[in-house]
């Protein structure tokens, strides 16, 4: 797979505020700030490090976010808050560094033995558009994105447990979620299955060594609260969760939000509910998992820019997003996968918390590969 725009400009789901943004304006929701702002901001001279941490130096930028900007005194004003190497749950001496995050992400990448092989998926990515065209809502791809998927993948325990979760949610925000005993059991089953994998064993070992969790059960309990704990995105109490938003997808104010999972996309496309429109980015990986940033409709609701791993196992995505939320909550998280840099952005849900003031995950998505 190859990028259809230069990698230095390949930003999947997030950039700085538009230059004419006024500080007095109310803060938008995470996806309104990032995904919908992409087209209008991509070619402007950014004044923030949002989605730009440790990018290559570009003399045309008004301020900089490269590794030496502090040395030259030309960093953007939010460089320290967004790009600091020593952040995470605390600013203590055991904080997780950028190098440690990149090292563990490479280990997780190598451990994903449940991922799709080249012969398991045939994509038809078709028409690549410029970021300025993402708001046109034009269907430029007459054929489905997935030409073929080897559905034997879905019989693997983690895939099967993941798929069982996808029909447990009402996609419209503002309608409270109420889980049955079976649905709660399916959450536990998913966590139980992924914790058997090398991917999640690598993640837990790393976080345990980093003094984030004292036992595996503490880690599992925290993941359940973090991802499946309910909070309110609309008027209804408990109408959303991190898992629902990121993996299953939601509809808010007539637009698709979240929905960053290839398995969900394939299953919905197969049922005729997803219509693939175009893409703006096709990642540099020559095997799975890869990355695609695309436009599509979901049962008539439009998604302007949706980034997703393609061909990854459920535990791989769950591990990387959890790593970034734990190590860089609410910030850009620098990863490395197969020697290629990748950044993921997470957002915390600040309106409600669980045990000891911990925050729920609001969203997590791929920011850039440049």
Q: How many angstroms separate the first and last alpha carbons of the chain? A: 15
Assigned token pair, 295: 């436009």
- Beta strands (DSSP E) in 5-131 are 121-123
155's CB contacts (< 8 A; 6+ apart) are none
What's the CA dihedral at 309, 169, 347, 305 to 10 degrees? 50
- Among 61, 98, 115, 260, the one annotated catalytic: 260
User: Is the bond preceding residue 325 a cis peptide, omega within 30 degrees?
Assistant: no
Tokens 């408990």 belong to which residue?
238
- Among 64, 115, 245, 279, the one annotated catalytic: 245
Assigned token pair, 223: 């993941």
Q: How far apart are CA 257 and CA 252, in angstroms?
A: 7
Three-state secondary structure call for residue 197: coil
Residue 211: Cβ-neighbour burial (10 angstroms; 0-12, 13-18, 19+): exposed
130's CB contacts (< 8 A; 6+ apart) are 5, 280
245: annotated active-site residue: yes
What's the CA dihedral at 87, 52, 259, 184 to 10 degrees? 0
260: annotated active-site residue: yes
Q: How far apart are CA 307 and CA 29, in angstroms?
A: 17
208: annotated active-site residue: no
- Among 64, 303, 331, 359, the one annotated catalytic: 303
Angle between helices 198-209 and 216-228 (to 10 degrees): 110
List residues with catalytic annotation.
245, 260, 303
């Amino acid at each position: 797979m190859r990028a259809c725009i230069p990698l230095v400009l390949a930003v999947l789901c997030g950039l700085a505020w538009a230059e004419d943004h006024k500080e007095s304006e109310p803060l938008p929701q995470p996806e309104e700030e990032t995904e919908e702002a992409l087209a209008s901001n991509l070619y402007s001279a950014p004044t923030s490090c949002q989605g730009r941490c440790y990018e290559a130096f570009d003399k045309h930028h008004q301020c900089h976010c490269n590794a030496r900007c502090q040395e030259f005194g030309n960093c953007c004003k939010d460089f320290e808050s967004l790009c600091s190497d020593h952040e995470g749950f605390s600013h203590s001496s055991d904080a997780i560094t950028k190098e440690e995050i990149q090292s563990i992400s490479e280990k997780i990448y190598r451990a994903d033995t449940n991922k799709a092989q080249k012969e398991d998926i045939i994509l038809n990515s078709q028409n690549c558009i410029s970021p300025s065209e993402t708001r046109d809502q034009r269907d430029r791809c007459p054929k489905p994105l997935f030409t073929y998927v080897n559905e034997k993948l879905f019989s693997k325990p983690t895939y099967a447990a993941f798929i069982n979760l996808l029909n447990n949610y009402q996609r419209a925000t503002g309608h409270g979620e109420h889980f049955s005993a079976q649905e709660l059991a399916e959450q536990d089953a998913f966590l139980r299955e992924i914790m058997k994998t090398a991917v999640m064993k690598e993640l837990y070992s790393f976080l345990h060594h980093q003094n984030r969790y004292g036992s595996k059960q503490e880690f599992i309990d925290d993941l359940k609260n973090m991802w499946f704990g309910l909070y309110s995105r609309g008027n209804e109490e408990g109408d959303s969760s991190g898992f629902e938003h990121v993996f299953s997808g939601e509809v808010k104010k007539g637009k698709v939000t979240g929905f960053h999972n290839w398995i969900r996309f394939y299953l919905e496309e197969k049922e005729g509910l997803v219509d693939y429109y175009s893409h703006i980015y096709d990642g540099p990986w020559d095997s799975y998992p890869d990355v695609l940033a695309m436009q599509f409709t979901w049962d008539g609701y439009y998604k302007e820019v949706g980034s997703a791993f393609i061909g990854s196992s459920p535990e791989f995505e769950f591990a990387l997003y959890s790593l970034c939320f734990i190590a860089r909550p609410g910030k850009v998280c620098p990863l490395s996968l197969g020697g290629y840099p990748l950044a993921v952005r997470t957002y915390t849900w600040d309106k409600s918390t669980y045990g000891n003031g911990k925050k729920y995950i609001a969203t997590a998505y791929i920011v850039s590969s440049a």
